[in-house]
Structure 1
Amino acid sequence: MTAELVRGQNHPLSQVRLEVRVSAGRPVVAGATLSDEQGRVRGVEWVAHPGAPTLPGLEVSKQAAADHRLAFDLDALPGTVHRVSVLLALPTGVGPARFGAVAAPFVAVTGLDGSEVASYTITGLDAESAVVALELYRRQGAWKVRAVGQGYAGGLAELLTDQGLPEARRLADSIDEAVAQGLARSVSVPPPRTPDADRSRQAAASAPGPDQPYAGPQGASGTVPPLQTPSPSPYDTPGGQGATVPQPGYQGGGPAPTDPPAVAQPAAPSTGPVDYSHPGRQTSAPPPPPPTAPPAPPGQPARPVAGDATGWSMEERLYNQVWGMFEDLARTAAAYRSAVDFADSRMEQELDRALSDPRSRIGGQGDAAREAARAKHADLVDQARAALDRDLSQLTAESDVVEPALPAAYARWDNPVWHGYRVPMEIPMAVRLGDLRLPESEELSIPMLVRLPLERGLWIDSGRAASADALADPDELRRLAMDTAVANAARLLAVYPAGEFTAHVIDPAGSAASSLAPLVRSGVLDGPPAAGATGVADVLARLTQRVDLVQMAVRAGAADSLPPGLDTAEQLLIVNDFPHGFDDRAVTQLRYLADEGPAVGVHLMLVADREDAAGFGPLLDPLWRALLRLTPVPDDHLADPWVGHAWTYEPALVPPGSQVLQQVLSQVAAARRPWNR
């Protein structure tokens, strides 16, 4: 069973011959350093990198690539080596210069047979261009792996300097030179679809939020690679290990997973990304300063005010305030748990000391020691609980003020703001996909806001394993999963301006007709739900062709060369009951859309039971990792990379009997009609 690690967590290794597999979605440099018992790298001969890829006991890739396999034989390492650090870095002068601008890298420790031992998604990076992903280290004669995720804004030079290497700068320069020579022989990576500077709405630097951590929670999803090279990607098919399936839109086979990219001339330099912004939009002047709360009475906490965070607009202030509440709740819960752990540990130590003398184990002296230890424990726990209750009370008061003030994109479906809904003129910063809470805060939930445009697709888990014993009827759970998908799709359609978001549905067996009725009746879909093999093939072919065309236009800097009839709106594909009714080609196309689509405005929403798809074997694992996993019932499957809490996710469903969904969709459909003529 795979251990899905969070930052700082370790896991024992039962094998000494291992591979570390890296999936970053775009070319990165992979390397490794050996260090002694004090954590010091003794010299350049203890660093494996593209210019010197082989050391005793390990081998790394010879050039930058989107995927790597690093081989380790821990028994063959020198006896003075106590730690092996796996390094990742962005190539200098090629693509983004910081990890915050690319998808979170995914690393996995596997056996030689490919079975995963531990995995880690490196989230929370921003300005860093190099990172220590994992470290394999000796502890009491055995080897363990630890998820590190330590980033360095100064790149490889700063990273190697921090590990005690005197020649760090010179070695970093030689690595950059070796990587540049390798990139000159490979296909260059196209730029992202829309750089941050061209987005119509910008926030201040966002704090770590749940849309990042959900990449690597307990049993959840992985990372979404952005634009990759157009060469076919190797996929293992049910027919045999190592078989290659071409990506849609290309002919021929591809290299084996460990082969370097095919030799080709570098792509022509891009003159600019495809501009999806509305030509009539203007950037407004900065709004007045945020409101300030009236002074609180002496000794009382400050009265919360909606929108008192920093930002250029009320929407941005509320967004930052919500994530500030998320951080505050995570912090106060972590402090409470730490205090309780300390109280438990202290009580055990005091009991051990008091009862270590056989003469005090019985009689009044032993009883008094036990009572004193328990009393101290209760006092510490009560103090921690009082501090937690105080913080929860303040956060609850803030939530009571903020929730009614949220715009439609951030609000629950029962918020009155939806009854005054009008089709927006601008794309919001984020959209609400549910709520988050912790066991210590059952009465307090924090909106789960995910930035727009979506950086990864969504997977609505319809399996019973996702909901424990919450529902005994699997048919009811599948219906709820589709209802959740429809509610999220309707919200996405509602928060985009008219003509800037298009939805498609694939329902191979027609089993989701009742759940899809609001979308079908309102006329917001691009067409009727596709059914049967022909319908599935037609929708997938059109969307994969759109991805291919936009990618080529982005690389060539020729946005004007797109076909006149091409729909440049953001595209959402809802897929029900996957993988039933999908052949190998359709599965490959869906993987292609999940990997390549988000960067060019094509997003996937999959309604599926992962256990039910187990017959496909490891073929679909990258697809699950590429999607953000949500559940149709409350479930604690989401984890944050900051303190490692397991957050309970609650879906954003329409209240039973409410007509708000139909009213909103009717307005969206009416606004779309002029664009569809």
Structure 2
Amino acid sequence: MTAELVRGQNHPLSGTRLEIRVSAGGPVVAGATLGGEDGKVAGADRVAHPASHRLPGLEVSRQAAADHRLAVDLEALPEDVHRVHVLLALPAGAGGPTSFGVLAAPFVAVTELDGAEIATFTITDLGVESAVVALELYRRQGAWKVRAVGQGYAGGLAAMLQDQGLEQAFETAAAINEAVTRGMARAVAPPPPRPVADPAPQAPAPQAPAAGGGPVNYHHPRRATATPPAPAPAAPPAEPGQPPRPVAGDANGWTMNERLYNQVWGMFEDLARSTAAYRSAVDFAESRLEQELDKVLSDPATRVGPAADAARAEARARQASLVEQARAVLDRDLAQLVAEAEVVEHALPPAFARWDSPVWQGYQVPLETPMALRLGELHLPERTDLRIPMLVRLPLERGLWIDSGRPSGLQAAIVDSSELRRLAMETAVAHAARLLAVHPVGDYTVHVIDPAGAAGGALAPLLQSGALKEPPAAGAQGVSALLDRLTRRVDLVQMAVRSGASDSLPPDVDTAEQLLIVNDFPHGFDDRAVNQLRYIADEGPSVGVHLMMVADREDARGYGPVLDPLWRALLRITPVPDDHLADPWVGHTWTYEPSLVPVGSDVLGQVLRRVGQARQAYGI
């Protein structure tokens, strides 16, 4: 039974792995301090906050938000820690409320990892305070308890930290405010009001499994080195002599979505390693065969005759045996990965799932941005039916180049240029729809440049649903006006962030994340427009402006080397399967397949209509 605490009341904690959930009436900063027996904080390294969001046994959110989840592992805390204070503060200089008194009372819940509530506390009677100690977890006689505190501070973060005995209180408060200000470059204004619901958790940020225009970087620091902070689902018992049955979410992570993300990452690594081992064994067998044949030919006594024939036959038999053994090991590993991929695919949330997944049928507009987004699938020629989801972290650290030029391989013979341009724009719309669908209402805005108006058919789902706020920019004047507006937004937000004056932005600046889709580039672009695109590609992602180009690389070569920086700045993907992604670690060439809506399915239209309805409900 959940204990509903009042100020000063305590409650025992039976478990040591906990989540602390925070819901507030607007964006707040969530943090925690680790104190000794006297409650004093020994130094700045005992404060978890957006600029230093992980400490032993403790992880907090990295930005201001209306909803938070803090992860706590009491057993992993340093031995001299006896008190954990959970802190909430209003972002300084964000243009929002300056006191908790004008917001709805913050709600805090201590839960088990499965979401079951242990204790809750609604922090009432706050007035001019801009910071508050919400809860205290404390150890007494070897047992942990939670106490509802609700102590507010009109002096803000610095006063609260100073009261806890931190000598570097003002420096730490400044570091927290600076980190929050940087984070708010992507969401300077508070989000529109939303109904209270379970938020999606914040999560660490491992690397994305693909790098643009060439090498894939899949160094994954968590799979093999991190101690699981949350228990993964137990695998069903395997039959004697059989490998363990795969379970969705059996990687490290605080939440199921993070565990699924890391599991997909691990599958990618496992496929790369197993294939590399097989290819290495085949190369060794071929090299050994060549050496043995050379040895036979180099000796005149064994160069011809029955002895030579027998030696060559034995060498080829040994080579075939080595390859057969390597293939058997590979097939065993791939069969296990195929079984795991099937289990994981059915468990993926919308942001990670294929468009044909049943999870989209129950789609609801989310309250929090997910940690990653699916762009397609990757596979290797040794087992083409084993597809690994290609997930990239959000917010996008680089834009996308959807290549509408002639593909390589078999696709070159079956897809003509006009069909490829149509598929490229449909791919762009599918990715834009997914980005809109996985962000909270009002947190993402899509713009389109279509100089000749050639993309009307592909853009119909965005326009008809109302998910696209304005018609595509066409003609030289429309292209210039939209690019001017977006470059101005980049400039203004950059200046506001650097000066710590986010609240001084003009009211006409849209502070939501922005995505600019450019169709049929470079047709209709002059030198000034090209330079603006390069500027957006370079500077935009850091302040929430992202670029998606739909273009033929060969057509773009007409501009010469001026476009090389733009090409290198973007992640190249294709509207048809293409083996253009390579990883430098083991030298594999990966075939990429885009994440497209099945032919005849209306799932994209259904999802966009829900997005449009939600925007209308919020008056956006």
Q: TM-score, normalised by structure 1?
A: 0.60
Q: Give the structure 2 partner of residue 673 of structure 1.
A: 616
**Structure-1 separation of matches of 2:597 and 2:520:** 22
Post-superposition Cα deviations, 1:406-461, rounded to whole Å, max 9, x if no partner, equal 00000000000001100011100000000000011211000000000000000000
Change (3 A) 1:642 1:499: same
* 1:529 positional shift: 0.7
Q: Does 1:216 align with 2:239?
A: no
**Structure-1 separation of matches of 2:328 and 2:576:** 31
Which AA in structure 1 matches 2:242?
A: Q
2:561 aligned to 614, 618, 638, which one? Answer: 618
Matched-pair contact (CA < 8 Å) for 2:257–2:349: yes
**Structure-1 separation of matches of 2:500 and 2:356:** 45
* 1:673 positional shift: 1.8
Q: Does 1:301 align with 2:300?
A: no
1:634 aligned to 571, 577, 582, which one? Answer: 577
Q: Give the structure 1 partner of residue 484 of structure 2.
A: 541
Matched-pair contact (CA < 8 Å) for 1:430–1:449: yes
* 1:287 positional shift: 9.4
**RMSD of Structure 2 on Structure 1 (CA):** 2.5
Change (3 A) 1:466 1:528: farther
Matched-pair contact (CA < 8 Å) for 1:214–1:640: no
2:264 aligned to 302, 310, 322, which one? Answer: 322
Q: Give the structure 2 partner of residue 334 of structure 1.
A: 276
Q: Give the structure 1 partner of residue 332 of structure 2.
A: 390
**Structure-1 separation of matches of 2:201 and 2:184:** 12
Q: Does 1:289 align with 2:278?
A: no
* 1:400 positional shift: 1.0
Which AA in structure 2 matches 1:623?
A: L
Q: Does 1:501 align with 2:444?
A: yes
**Structure-2 separation of matches of 1:513 and 1:605:** 17
* 1:517 positional shift: 0.8
Number of residue pairs aligned between Structure 1 and Structure 2: 422
Change (3 A) 1:424 1:470: farther
Q: Does 1:310 align with 2:309?
A: no
Q: Give the structure 1 partner of residue 498 of structure 2.
A: 555
Matched-pair contact (CA < 8 Å) for 1:508–1:576: yes
Post-superposition Cα deviations, 1:332-353, rounded to whole Å, max 9, x if no partner, equal 0000000000000000011111
Which AA in structure 1 matches 2:299?
A: D
**Structure-1 separation of matches of 2:603 and 2:338:** 27
Matched-pair contact (CA < 8 Å) for 1:464–1:471: no
Residue pairs, 1:409-428, within 5 angstroms: 409-428=351-370
**Structure-1 separation of matches of 2:425 and 2:181:** 31
**Structure-2 separation of matches of 1:396 and 1:368:** 41
**Structure-2 separation of matches of 1:497 and 1:318:** 21
Change (3 A) 1:472 1:216: closer
Q: Give the structure 2 partner of residue 463 of structure 1.
A: 405
**Structure-2 separation of matches of 1:449 and 1:192:** 27
**Structure-2 separation of matches of 1:559 and 1:379:** 68
Residue pairs, 1:430-579, within 5 angstroms: 430-465=372-407, 469-579=412-522
2:183 aligned to 186, 194, 201, which one? Answer: 194
Change (3 A) 1:481 1:466: farther
**Structure-1 separation of matches of 2:205 and 2:365:** 28
**Structure-2 separation of matches of 1:411 and 1:422:** 14
**Structure-2 separation of matches of 1:217 and 1:322:** 19
* 1:608 positional shift: 0.3
Aligned to 1:580, the other structure's residue is in SS state: coil
Change (3 A) 1:432 1:529: same
**Structure-1 separation of matches of 2:415 and 2:252:** 46
Post-superposition Cα deviations, 1:58-82, rounded to whole Å, max 9, x if no partner, equal xxxxxxxxxxxxxxxxxxxxxxxxx
* 1:215 positional shift: 5.1
**Structure-2 separation of matches of 1:423 and 1:606:** 26
Which AA in structure 2 matches 1:495?
A: V
Which AA in structure 1 matches 2:400?
A: L
Aligned to 2:351, the other structure's residue is in SS state: helix
Matched-pair contact (CA < 8 Å) for 1:505–1:574: yes
Matched-pair contact (CA < 8 Å) for 1:193–1:599: no
Post-superposition Cα deviations, 1:338-369, rounded to whole Å, max 9, x if no partner, equal 00000000000111112211232211011001
Change (3 A) 1:568 1:466: farther
* 1:613 positional shift: 1.6
Structure 2 residues without counterparts, runs of 5 or longer:
1-50, 53-178, 188-198, 218-227
Change (3 A) 1:356 1:521: same
Aligned to 1:436, the other structure's residue is in SS state: strand
* 1:298 positional shift: 2.3
Q: Give the structure 2 partner of residue 274 of structure 1.
A: none
Aligned to 1:544, the other structure's residue is in SS state: helix
* 1:194 positional shift: 2.5
Q: Give the structure 2 partner of residue 345 of structure 1.
A: 287
Q: TM-score, normalised by structure 2?
A: 0.65
* 1:510 positional shift: 0.5
Aligned to 1:520, the other structure's residue is in SS state: helix
Post-superposition Cα deviations, 1:126-158, rounded to whole Å, max 9, x if no partner, equal xxxxxxxxxxxxxxxxxxxxxxxxxxxxxxxxx
Which AA in structure 2 matches 1:210?
A: P
Matched-pair contact (CA < 8 Å) for 2:370–2:394: yes
Aligned to 1:360, the other structure's residue is in SS state: coil
* 1:526 positional shift: 2.2
Matched-pair contact (CA < 8 Å) for 1:191–1:555: no
**Structure-1 separation of matches of 2:250 and 2:581:** 28
Residue pairs, 1:140-155, within 5 angstroms: none
Change (3 A) 1:195 1:444: farther
Matched-pair contact (CA < 8 Å) for 1:336–1:384: yes
**Structure-1 separation of matches of 2:598 and 2:402:** 19
Matched-pair contact (CA < 8 Å) for 1:494–1:668: yes
Residue pairs, 1:2-13, within 5 angstroms: none
Aligned to 1:433, the other structure's residue is in SS state: strand
Change (3 A) 1:397 1:627: same
**Structure-1 separation of matches of 2:515 and 2:325:** 50
Matched-pair contact (CA < 8 Å) for 1:471–1:477: no
1:659 aligned to 591, 602, 606, which one? Answer: 602
Q: Give the structure 2 partner of residue 109 of structure 1.
A: none
**Structure-2 separation of matches of 1:646 and 1:379:** 26
Aligned to 2:356, the other structure's residue is in SS state: coil
* 1:294 positional shift: 2.1
* 1:506 positional shift: 0.5
1:357 aligned to 288, 299, 312, which one? Answer: 299
**Structure-2 separation of matches of 1:598 and 1:676:** 27
Q: Give the structure 1 partner of residue 13 of structure 2.
A: none
* 1:531 positional shift: 0.6
**Structure-2 separation of matches of 1:627 and 1:375:** 49
Determine what percentage of the aligned residue pairs are the same residue. Answer: 70
* 1:508 positional shift: 0.3
* 1:205 positional shift: 5.8
Q: Give the structure 2 partner of residue 203 of structure 1.
A: 203
**Structure-1 separation of matches of 2:581 and 2:253:** 28
**Structure-2 separation of matches of 1:216 and 1:602:** 23
Aligned to 1:642, the other structure's residue is in SS state: coil
Structure number with larger C-alpha Rg? 2
Matched-pair contact (CA < 8 Å) for 2:230–2:253: no
